[in-house]
Amino acid sequence: MSSKKTVADEAAPLASPRLIVLAGPTAVGKGTVAACVREHHPEIWISVSVTTRKPRPGEIDGYHYHFINDAEFDALIANGGLLEWAVVHKAARYGTPRAPVDRALASGKPALLEIDLQGARQVRERMPEAFLVFLAPPSFVELVRRLVGRGTEGSAERERRLETARKEMLAESEFDATIVNTDVRTACEELVDLFSSGSSRSNS
Ligand code: 5GP
């Protein structure tokens, strides 16, 4: 893992981050790392996103995602109910409900968002104190292997996701820290450690 200092870090008082955004290319294992945090670190609150995508086998509404339809998603946007949202893989919309994040932060709980790069950029703008973590694969070849191995997408969908992943790999420099996901448990603990050792951009 490498931590990066930013110009803003130099100017602002440093504090441990309370909101961490975990992003990174498709199939790098963000969901698996977040699941590990959920299982082993109940002290950390994890946002449940809304999505217009259909549930995959085994996915539970309200736990993995809130599965909603387009009209419900439109209403959330119109009401300002989303902290961020994006169309991911040109296929479905995903968003972070704003109120639960505010509640978690107000209660003093460390909070984790596992979202895509477009969403991470929006959070950076709206909550500059958020700490952005890039989850990287050991290599692009390994990323392709994981995407194919997962077997949840057809070949056209896989191609679309790989195209997105290629672009997403270039975004690493925008992040405050990088964790290489060679081993899920190690990546999970490195992420949790950042809540105490990372330096967020302000105290707010
Ligand atoms: P999947 O369909 O495989 O569960 O997720 C597809 C992508 O959507 C992943 O890269 C995941 O990080 C991203 N994603 C999940 N929830 C959100 C969200 O609330 N906002 C954004 N912007 N992306 C999300």
Using the structure block, give the residue that is written with the tokens 């270039």: 170
For 121, phi and psi rounded to 5 degrees? Answer: -65, -40
E strand spans, the chain: 2-3, 19-23, 45-46, 50-51, 66-67, 82-88, 92-97, 111-114, 131-136, 177-180
113 in a structural domain:
yes
More confident residue, 199 or 132: 132
Residues contacting 156, CB < 8 A, separation 6+: none
Residue nearest to atom 12 of ligand 1 (CA): 115
192 in a structural domain:
yes
Mean pLDDT calculated for residue range 67-90: 95
Separation of alpha carbons 28 and 32, rounded Å: 9
| 13-64 confidence digits (pLDDT tens) | 556 779 999 999 988 999 999 999 999 999 999 999 999 999 999 999 999 9
Q: Tell which atom from ligand 1 comes closest to the C-alpha of 122.
A: 22
Separation of alpha carbons 12 and 82, rounded Å: 27
Both tokens of 201, joined, read 């951009």
Residue nearest to atom 20 of ligand 1 (CA): 95
- Expressed in angstroms and rounded, the spacing between residue 6 Cα and the centre of ligand 1 is 26
3-state SS, 68-107, equals CCHHHHHHHHHCCCEEEEEEECCCEEEEEEHHHHHHHHHC
201 in a structural domain:
no
Could you list the residue range(s) of the whole structural domain that residue 172 is in? 19-196
User: If you ran DSSP here, which 8-state letter would residue 57 be given?
Assistant: T
Question: Binning pLDDT at 50, 70 and 90, where does residue 132 land?
Answer: very high
Using the structure block, give the residue that is written with the tokens 């390994």: 142
Torsion of CA 56, 60, 61, 67, to 10 degrees: -10
Separation of alpha carbons 201 and 196, rounded Å: 14
Residue nearest to atom 17 of ligand 1 (CA): 115
CB 37, CB 192: distance < 8 Å: yes
Q: What is the CATH number of the domain that holds 132?
A: 3.40.50.300
More confident residue, 90 or 73: 73
184 in a structural domain:
yes
- Expressed in angstroms and rounded, the spacing between residue 86 Cα and the centre of ligand 1 is 8
Separation of alpha carbons 156 and 83, rounded Å: 30
What is the model's pTM? 0.87
Domains identified in the chain, total number? 1
* Mean model confidence pLDDT for the chain: 88
Return the pLDDT at 9. Answer: 45
Mean pLDDT calculated for residue range 184-201: 88
